[in-house]
Amino acid sequence: MPGLDLYLASTSPRRRALLQQAGLRFALCEPGDEYAPGSGQHEHEGGAGVPAELARERAERKARGARPPLDDAPVLAVDTVVDLDGQELSKAADRAAAGRLLGRLLGRRHLVHTAHCLRTPDGRLRHELATATVAFADPGPAALARYLDSGDWRGKAGAYGIQDPQLPFASLVDGTLDTVIGMHVAAVQRLLDAARSAS
């Protein structure tokens, strides 16, 4: 496909939407077998280690394992981690697990790390990490139940999406909203600009 800015190694509809809103020309490619939906324990079990480093390592593995149809554009891989007191809160396997994860966040602040890795056609890797701070109010059991009933928590780190309409009790304290949603577009632009300058 001629004229591409990048291949996106992701199955996330939110990341696709952010790239589309930014006007970047992209095509999708698989992030590798380890990250196929339903594969890999990282989906529902928090990793052991520093959360920001876990995000960076996973983004790099996704970039290395991606299989674009042609080597005519860079491959972008991204990973987002919710960090509560230095521990990763990953995705929830079911409604009960989502309730437990959200219960830990209520009335507190936490960090969200989104790691970006750009693999250029010559195999070079470029990284950028974006971090934001999110605060959760404690809305009471009825509002929490409405969010859990919505199912919007499915497939999302920390069992929430800050943009979800049924989640008015989450607010951005520091950083950018797109970092929390799952891709900091300005970081992607910087990585692409650096790769073009080096070519």
Residue 53 forms part of a structural domain: yes
**pLDDT for the residue numbered 85:** 97
Within 13 Å of residue 147, how many CA atoms lie on the same side as its CB? 28
Please name the residues in contact with 71: beta carbons below 8 A apart, sequence gap of 6 or more: 121
Active site residues: 79
**pLDDT for the residue numbered 46:** 67
Strands 26-29 and 6-9: parallel
Residue 72 forms part of a structural domain: yes
Could you read off the pLDDT of 48-90 as tens digits, one per residue? 889 999 999 999 999 999 999 999 999 999 999 999 999 999 9
Q: Tell me if 131 sits within 8 A of 192, measured CB to CB.
A: no
Question: Which two three-digit tokens encode residue 66?
Answer: 């991606």
- pLDDT 10s digit of each residue in the chain, 199 long? 458 999 999 989 999 999 999 999 999 998 876 665 554 444 545 678 899 999 999 999 999 999 999 999 999 999 999 999 999 999 999 999 999 999 999 999 999 999 999 999 999 999 999 999 999 999 999 999 999 999 999 999 999 999 999 999 999 999 999 999 999 999 999 999 999 998 7
Task: Report the domain count for the chain.
Answer: 1
For residues 172, 174, 177, 181, the Cα torsion angle rounded to the nearest 10 degrees is: -80
Q: Note if the pTM is more than 0.85.
A: yes
Q: What is the CATH number of the domain that holds 190?
A: 3.90.950.10
**pLDDT for the residue numbered 41:** 44
* 102/40 Cα distance (integer angstroms): 22
Q: Which domain holds residue 18?
A: 6-198
